[in-house]
Structure 1
Amino acid sequence: MATQLESALDSAAKLALDSKTLVRIVLSGRRRNMSVPFERIDIRPVLIKDELVYQIMQNDGRVTTTKNITQKDFNPMSYLDLGYANILVEHMAGSLSIRITKKGEAQVHEDKVAREQNLEHDRKKTRLLDSADPFLIEVGISDTNGKVKPTRADKYLQVEEFLRLLVPTLNSAISAKQIAEPTTSKPLVIADLGCGNAYLTFAVHQYLKSMDIPVHVIGIDIRPESLKRNTEIAMKLGISQSIEFKAEA
């Protein structure tokens, strides 16, 4: 539903200030005609030396920087109002999702699904792609438990590094109007020539979708076995409407 942006941000800020129930905040995407300082910002409460603070993880598409802010110094609106189009606030009793449209309206969705709060401050490096993503399991990089197979760790890192190079390049092109800003009616079209096993093809699709960027990906390969395999995976994952495989462009 559409609601007043100010009211939606105020609701998100109130949830963010309740450090005893807050699970995490995720800021991503970019509002129309606005620039953002980072590709994505993750905020969550952590416990450091018996003190509850807010951990701010800022990713520019290549590296992630982390800083901690005390509760008294934390101003959620200074982050919520930076120009991000997608705002997710998860708390122990549910979540609040805000998507800001091109017209500046807020589309708000709430759920009542309970979540656990994790206050540990030492966490593994933030990955752009979750190792448990179904596509990684289907292509054989991760096992059925969503863990990267030791023998496929290099391939997983290759996919990660590719995304870290692609994202800032893509955002720069959109900001410079070299590429039109993707919309639902006119999504970004990406073609992967000689896609083979489509590790990168699927990775680009899944990551951009997770960032709420409308996209249509086309994998091109002349080998019938590759086309059959990749098409079957896309259909199994239920994403064949936004990713397809062809023998030629």
Structure 2
Amino acid sequence: MENIALLLEDIIIKERLIYGVLSNTKKKNEALFNKVNIKPVMIKEDKKLQFTYEYNSKVIHKNLDNLEAIEEIVKLLDEYFKQGMIFTIEADYQILISKKGKETILKKKPTRESIDLSHNRKKTYIIDEGDKCDFLIRLGVMNEKGKVFSKKYDKFRQINRFLEMVADIIPKIKTEKTLNIVDFGCGKSYLTFALYHYLIDILGLDVNIVGLDLKQDVIDFCNRVAEDLDYNRLKFIHGDIKDYQGFEKVDMVVTLHACDTATDAAIVKAVNWDAQAILSVPCCQHEIFKLIHNPIMIPMEKHGIIKEKLSSLITDSIRANVLEILGYSTQLLEFIDMEHTPKNILIRGIKTNNPNKEAIAQYLDFKKFWGLEEIYIEESLGEKLKKHLKSKL
């Protein structure tokens, strides 16, 4: 394998690799992968080579540096594969391994264009159609060849949009130690599985993820899927948001389509944990609907459908404002409609430890304008919030 190793050193060290694929296995074994794809990616600020190992029913990703990648390709060709195709800027190289272990390298004209990693950087944070993805295959979003089913394309777009939002915050949180993540109201958990795939399979982070839901059949299903995919750092638990005590410290809280004050309960949990990141897509919101009133706004309030939309906007504005008071940098972002709700706003908060003093006056004035007094999120946070508000009273 000396000639192959020398070729790979020249290609990879000089960063000329566009794409690689190893195929035609030497060993027929259901437990082994049958193909490995290799491509350069940007992970945070580092260039890596991403290896995608394709099994019959799943795929596994590894991100390796240049020297590790060279050693891995040589090992794979020596022990597992009879053929490799390496696509570079200057040429394509076909590598053939005979039954007796003789190596042949054929050089051909280049057939692929160079990858612009500055453009590709964000694309590595999402799942491209055509890339076989084990959890998407298992959940019926794509087929075994990586083709997304037409009826599931909206779900595929939603998953990618969610991962883009997660990718944006990873550089802003501490990832050196194990990250504990809780997804409240996980449902069928497309996005929970996507989060696991992105953080562990693609970024290679040390992560524990727990999905929580009130439907036992959903929890049983998700645990079976996680077990089938060997997602051993992911588990699902039957339970309520307010009662969950599984971790002493949680770094990221995700809550998707949690109804009414369940979203507030999740935010309160996150704040009490001093979570580094909060990602919340609220669902139906009834509490504020019953409470808001301002005589000037009667032309809007008198129409139920308008008041419902108005109360949703007011509720999410209050949630974002509260997080700002408590030291979170907060954004309200457009998401993609969920299957269960037409709501499409995601609240994203990143812990900064710098409480926003201006947000206190804004919050008090806003509540006064709408005639709001005691509301769930404020009462649930107790002194943690009230000590800030008292400074302005």
Work out whether the TM-score is over 0.5.
no
TM-score range (shorter-chain normalised) is 0.3 to 0.5
Q: Which structure has the larger Rg?
A: 2
TM-score between both structures, scaled by the size of structure 2: 0.28
With a CA cutoff of 8 Å and minimum separation of 6, indicate the structure with the bigger relative contact order: 1
